């Protein structure tokens, strides 16, 4: 309305996608460390927690039934079946509240989710993280030591599909050297903050 007190801009919605193991998590962690005011969107997932992952922090770990209920009640902004086995989705409330309140928020989601978010919120800033090579990607996935051989093969196959959707992202960031790539992600964020207006 223009008469109410409130932030003079909506928050920035940063969407980060790219194949599993490319380093999205590492890049986002560093961005959040450098800019603690940026909020992290905690996704829901039906996959089991990895050692060290905390419920409500890394993900909301939910049952298939609970996930289905959230979908039906419209509680998810987007959701997708990722790697053909587990469901992942973004709770709608925290995203809408952050943007409304002028807080910036970052989503780490797959290309299907990214497409759905962009359709609903065209102002989203879309970033695709690419590996220097397929060999690097496989080594990082294996080196993380969190997935079985079968899961690694599934994720490598999905990487090709993820790549084929790179064109819908405004930014493509190659994660070769982590420190440099962190600076690139930060540069995108800082540039977006300086935009005079935000449109789809």
Q: Within 127-186, which residues bind ligand 5GP (CB under 6 A)? A: none
Cβ 50 to ligand ADP, closest distance in Å? Answer: 10
Is residue 20 part of the contact set for ligand 5GP (CB under 6 A)?
yes
Cβ 102 to ligand 5GP, closest distance in Å? Answer: 23
Centre a 10 Å sphere on the Cβ of residue 24 and count the other Cβ atoms it contains.
22
Is residue 46 part of the contact set for ligand 5GP (CB under 6 A)?
no
Closest among 173, 180, 194, 189 to 35, alpha carbons compared: 189
> Quick one: which segment of 27-35, 105-113, 176-184, 190-198 binds ligand 5GP (CB under 6 A)?
105-113
Based on CB atoms, which residue is closest to ligand ADP, 112 or 175? 175
Based on CB atoms, which residue is closest to ligand 5GP, 161 or 190? 161
Judge contact between 67 and 87, C-beta under 8 A: yes
Query: Which residues make Cβ contacts (< 8 Å) with residue 133, sequence separation at least 6?
Result: none
Query: Which residues make Cβ contacts (< 8 Å) with residue 174, sequence separation at least 6?
Result: 129, 130, 131, 132, 181
Would you tell me which residues interact with ligand ADP (CB under 6 A)?
Answer: 20-26, 140, 143-144, 175, 177-178, 181
Query: Residue 90 binds what, of ligand 5GP, ligand ADP, none (CB under 5 to 8 Å, by partner type)?
Result: ligand 5GP
The helix, strand and coil proportions of the chain, stated in percent and rounded to the nearest 5, come to: 40, 20, 40
- CA distances, 79 to each of 124, 133, 171 (Å): 16, 28, 22
Closest among 77, 78, 19, 34 to 193, alpha carbons compared: 34
Work out which of 28, 70, 95, 108 binds ligand 5GP, going by CB under 6 A.
Answer: 108
Work out which of 89, 104, 106, 118 binds ligand 5GP, going by CB under 6 A.
Answer: 89
Query: Which residues make Cβ contacts (< 8 Å) with residue 183, sequence separation at least 6?
Result: none
Query: Residue 178 binds what, of ligand ADP, ligand 5GP, none (CB under 5 to 8 Å, by partner type)?
Result: ligand ADP
Is residue 82 part of the contact set for ligand 5GP (CB under 6 A)?
yes
């Amino acid at each position: 309305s223009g008469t109410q007190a409130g932030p003079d801009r909506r928050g920035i919605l940063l969407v980060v996608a790219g194949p599993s193991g490319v380093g999205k998590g590492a890049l986002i962690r560093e961005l959040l460390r450098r800019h603690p005011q940026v909020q992290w969107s905690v996704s829901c997932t039906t996959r089991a927690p990895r050692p060290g992952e905390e419920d409500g922090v890394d993900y909301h770990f939910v049952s298939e039934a609970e996930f289905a209920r959230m979908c039906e009640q419209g509680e998810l902004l987007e959701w997708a079946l990722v790697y053909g086995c587990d469901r992942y989705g973004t709770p709608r409330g925290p995203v809408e509240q952050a943007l409304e309140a002028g807080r910036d928020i970052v989503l780490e989601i797959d290309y299907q989710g990214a497409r759905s978010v962009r359709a609903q919120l065209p102002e989203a800033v879309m970033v695709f993280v690419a590996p220097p090579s397929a060999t690097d990607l496989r080594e990082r996935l294996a080196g993380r030591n969190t997935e079985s051989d079968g899961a690694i093969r599934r994720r490598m196959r999905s990487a090709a599909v993820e790549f084929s959707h790179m064109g819908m992202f405004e930014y493509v960031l190659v994660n070769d050297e982590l420190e440099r790539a962190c600076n690139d992600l930060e540069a995108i964020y800082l540039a977006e903050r300086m935009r005079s207006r935000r449109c789809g």
